[in-house]
Chain A
Amino acid sequence: MEAIRTLTSTAAPLPLPNIDTDQIIPKQFLKRIERTGYGDFLFYDWRRIQSGPNAGQPNPEFVLNKPEHSGAKILIAEKNFGCGSSREHAAWAIQQFGFRAVIAPTFADIFYSNAGKNGIILVCLTDEEVETLLARSTANPNHRITIDLEQQTVKDDQGFLAHFDIDAFRKDCLLNGLDDIGLTLRHEKALDSFEQKHDAAFWLAPKPAALTTAAPETR
């Protein structure tokens, strides 16, 4: 995971609440077995005209198709961003399209976790603060926002300043690009001894021990 400290960029405003992961990356792109190559499919349906004679053509009204918003590394949306399916492909698509941060009032739990594992900064601001940034980025595509992860602040070039909360551990992982599995393996001794005791509680095992160890003929 790439470490990140501060980010200054223009933003793409997406003024809608409850943007679900089916919209972020539609199901037909979940069949791939690779971890890369999802950027082109971000908001696939919204980027295309849905009906009429031009169905399937790029929708010039959609923010990600507007040349003035190209290169934006920050996405701004309304509450409950990333709800629905657990597909990490949504985080991969956002990151591989070129976004490094999403600003919204709230995020769905699983998406929040997935984004963190992919080095995407998720910034929760108040409804009013988000509304201000949405309005400014919509009115002026050159509106630049700076996210300072170290200081936990969001500023813009028009005097906007807001503080955001982030879990200290998550912040540390983003700042240092830490790998979760590596971190967990620091506790391998504790895990070994926990597991030894835990295995004795057979009523918690998914399969009876006889089926998994002693009796191969039942497999």
Chain B
Amino acid sequence: MSQPQTLFEKVWQQHVVAEPAGEPTLIYIDLHLVHEVTSPQAFDGLRLAGRKLRRPDRHIATVDHNVPTTSAQDRLVIADQISARQVNALRDNCAEFGIEFFDVQDAGQGIVHMIGPELGATKPGTTIVCGDSHTSTHGAFGALAFGIGTSEVEHVMATQTLPQSKPKTFRINVEGKLPNGVTAKDIILDIIGRIGTDGATGYVVEYAGSAIRALSMEERMTICNMSIEAGARAGMIAADETTFAYLKGRRFSPQGAAWDEAIAHWRTMRSDDGAIFDREMTIDATGLAPNVTWGTSPGMVTRVDATVPSIEDARSEADRKSFARALEYMDLKPGIRIEDIAVDRVFIGSCTNARISDLRAAAAVVKGHHVATTVRAMVVPGSQLVKKQAEEEGLDHIFRTAGFEWREPGCSMCLGMNPDILEPGERCASTSNRNFEGRQGRGGRTHLLSPAMAAAAAVTGHLTDIRKWPPTGKPAPAEPVLAQGGLR
């Protein structure tokens, strides 16, 4: 009987092309996802060196970071000439090198980490890379998926491989039933708060335990998505019946007998009993609360029913310095209640939380209420498919009636490379993944939280504990509709 292996080790081993002595291992890459921002220099590199794209069938491209979300027309003719040039460059490069490209108006367009799973291109046991750190999202399917730089993008284009030194393994077990109002977003924010933004540097994290098993695919994607915010090379969750149910019948999923054969292989892609991890940690899900970030890194996070921490709460000298700087940047005083923090903007979107279940959860909170007069709120579906589904379910109507803007799919205000940005000093409740200084616009202040909490903040005008929803005297919202396997 061979040594028990972790899920990561199995995927790694099945993708070793060469192990030259004293050098990194050469790993085969099954799927490369391409977007407009980190690819143009790589295509140029290929042309300069006279190299071909080795396997066009293993690349999928779309536009997401740069595209305006205001209207279909604004997307077809992008007013910002520099953005337009970048989008056009990707369009031309895909045509030249034979890469399947989902253009702005295409039914398959969306944030690159949304469309991989939607198409069924993201598969268990595979290796997936993209010039974007949130590639870790795809680990929710039991894939080894990680973000790379542009030089590596070029390397994958030319060779379909990457030289990689083997990361260490870290299993985080989340056990027990999540309390009401606590979501996948709260789990991952809690983990980052515990271990810090460099707590998993050098590791691939596998999330396991009963609380993880109970999550839908969309929720698992939220968790894996933010692995990078803890410094992890990748996050993974072993595929199970939930995964197979999500993938069945998707455009690029195997069909018929091939589907059964595929599942048989995917079932073997889990950590063996007795597999040893370099590091392991267990979290009691029953003790978790909704979380909100108060500072300028995702690790600066606390429970919504807590207060803004003081510099004395910092765990190290370095943290003290960052705390002081963050409090100043965020214009917050230690000791004030998180719930007393008023917001100017609400953003529901991003590759972390713009899937159909996220929009359903937010709509369930918003229904029967109106956005506070002091708040400007927007919902940006993560993909064309999500937008269409939401409109079929009437969610757009709920949001619009409540005073939200209903936008076209893209990365939008998660990173503000497009016209969607915060003004200096504006404070935003955001379902995205990063609250760095200036991330959503120069001088903008970001509080990360779950979609339901963002929706509640839009209504009340301040950060709000979703467990106390609805506010007394207001009509109760309709029962939330739970996601069942997501979209087709």
Residue of chain A at shortest CB distance from B148: A86
Assess the B443–A34 pair: CB atoms within 8 A: no
Alpha-carbon gap, A108 to B165, bound state (A): 14
Interface positions, chain A 154-169, Cβ under 8 Å from B, are 167-169
Contact with A along B425-445 (1 / 0, CB 8 A): 100000000101111001100
Shortest CB distance B296–A (Å): 9
- B60 close to A194 (CB less than 8 A): no
B26, B49, B149, B438 — which one has the most chain A CB atoms within 10 A of its CB?
Answer: B149
| B163 and A118 form a contact (CB under 8 A) | no
CB-CB < 8 A to B26: which residues of A? 184, 187, 190-191
CB of A214, distance to nearest CB on chain B (Å): 12
Number of residues in A with C-beta < 8 Å to the partner?
66
Instruction: Tell me whether B133 is interfacial, beta carbon within 8 Å.
Output: yes
User: Which residues from B are CB-within-8-Å of A117?
Assistant: 149, 151-152
Asked if B368 is an interface residue, CB under 8 A from chain A, the answer is: no
- Check B321 against A16 for contact (C-beta < 8 Å): yes
B38-46, B281-289, B371-379, B400-408: which lies at the A interface?
B38-46
- A26-50 CB contacts (< 8 Å) to partner B: 26-28, 30-35, 45, 50
**Which residues A100-158 have CB closer than 8 A to chain B?**
106, 108-110, 113-114, 117-118, 127
Q: A78-B318, A206-B126, A208-B258 are in contact. Are A181 and B18 (CB under 8 A)?
A: no
Q: Is the CB of B86 within 8 A of A22?
A: no
Q: How many residues of B contact A (CB 8 A)?
A: 92
B467 within 8 A of A: no
Residues in B whose Cβ lies below 8 Å from that of A185: 158-159
Interface members, chain B 145-170 (any A CB < 8 Å):
146-152, 154-155, 158-161, 163, 165, 167
Residues B86 and A180 in contact, CB atoms below 8 Å apart: no
Contact B155 A181 (CB under 8 A): yes
Q: Shortest Cβ distance from B432 into chain A, in angstroms?
A: 12
| Cβ 8 A contact of B151, one of A15, A85, A114, A195 | A114
Write out the residue numbers on chain B whose beta carbons fall within 8 Å of the beta carbon of A18: 197-198, 297, 322
Bound together, the chains give a CA A206 to CA B126 distance in angstroms of 9
The answer to whether the Cβ of B209 comes within 8 Å of any Cβ in the partner chain is no
- In the bound complex, do residue A109 and residue B319 qualify as a contact, i.e. CB atoms below 8 Å apart? no
Determine the distance from Cα of A197 to Cα of B173 in the docked complex, in whole angstroms.
35
CB distance from A143 to the nearest CB of B (A): 21
Would B159 and A50 count as touching, CB distance under 8 A?
no
The minimal Cβ–Cβ distance linking B132 to chain A, given in whole angstroms, is: 6
How far does the Cβ of A78 sit from chain B's closest Cβ, in whole Å? Answer: 5
Binary interface encoding of chain B residues 441-452 relative to chain A, with 1 for a CB under 8 A from any of its CBs, else 0: 011000000000
Do the beta carbons of A79 and B318 come within 8 Å of each other? yes
Quote the shortest CB–CB distance from A26 to chain B (angstroms): 6
B58 touches A206 (CB 8 A): yes
Are B198 and A23 neighbours in the complex by a CB distance under 8 Å? no
Residues B416 and A27 in contact, CB atoms below 8 Å apart: yes
Please give me the residue from chain A that is nearest to B31 by CB atom: A206
Known: A22-B439, A201-B265, A211-B252. A184 touches B155 (CB 8 A): yes
Query: Would you list which residues of chain A between 170 and 185 have a CB under 8 Å from chain B?
Result: 180-181, 183-185
Q: A residues within 8 A CB of B351?
A: none
A110 in contact with B442 (CB, 8 Å): no
Write out the residue numbers on chain B whose beta carbons fall within 8 Å of the beta carbon of A114.
Answer: 149-152
When C-beta atoms are compared, the residue in chain A nearest to B165 turns out to be A167
Set B14, B100, B125, B149: member contacting A87, Cβ < 8 A: B149
Is B237 interfacial (CB-CB < 8 Å)?
Answer: no
Contact B322–A33 (Cβ < 8 Å): no
Task: Flag if B126 contacts A191 (CB, 8 Å).
Answer: no
Inside 8 A of B8's CB, which chain A residues have their CB? none
| CB-defined contacts of B424 to chain A, threshold 8 Å | 50-51, 55
Give the chain B neighbours of A109 by CB distance below 8 A.
167, 201-202, 231, 233
**B22 contacts A by Cβ under 8 Å:** yes
B335 CB-CB contact with A under 8 Å = no
Bound: A179/B137 CA distance, A: 30
CB-based contact B82/A23 at 8 Å: no
Which residue of chain A has its CB nearest to the CB of B158?
Answer: A181
| A98 contacts partner chain B, Cβ-Cβ < 8 Å | no
Say whether A190 contacts B434, CB under 8 Å.
no
B residues within 8 A CB of A31? 37, 66, 80, 82-83, 85-86, 417
18 A–B contact pairs at CB < 8 A?
A23-B437, A33-B44, A50-B424, A55-B424, A83-B197, A88-B41, A109-B231, A110-B149, A114-B152, A181-B155, A181-B158, A190-B18, A194-B28, A204-B14, A204-B30, A205-B58, A206-B121, A213-B57
List chain A positions with a Cβ less than 8 A from chain B.
15-18, 20, 22-23, 26-28, 30-35, 45, 50-51, 55, 78-80, 83-89, 91, 106, 108-110, 113-114, 117-118, 127, 167-169, 180-181, 183-185, 187, 190-191, 194-195, 198, 201-208, 211-213, 219
Interface set of B (CB-CB < 8 Å, partner A): 14-15, 17-18, 20, 22-24, 26, 28, 30-31, 37-38, 40-41, 44-45, 49, 51, 55, 57-58, 60, 65-66, 80, 82-83, 85-86, 89, 100, 121-123, 125-126, 131-133, 135, 146-152, 154-155, 158-161, 163, 165, 167, 197-198, 201-202, 228, 231, 233, 252-255, 258, 261-262, 265-266, 297, 318-319, 321-322, 325, 415-417, 424-425, 434, 436-439, 442-443
User: Apart from A22-B438, A88-B150, what 5 extra A-B contacts exist at CB < 8 Å?
Assistant: A109-B231, A110-B147, A113-B149, A114-B151, A208-B258
Smallest CB-CB A-B distances: 7 pairs = A88-B149, A203-B262, A33-B40, A114-B149, A117-B151, A86-B147, A80-B198
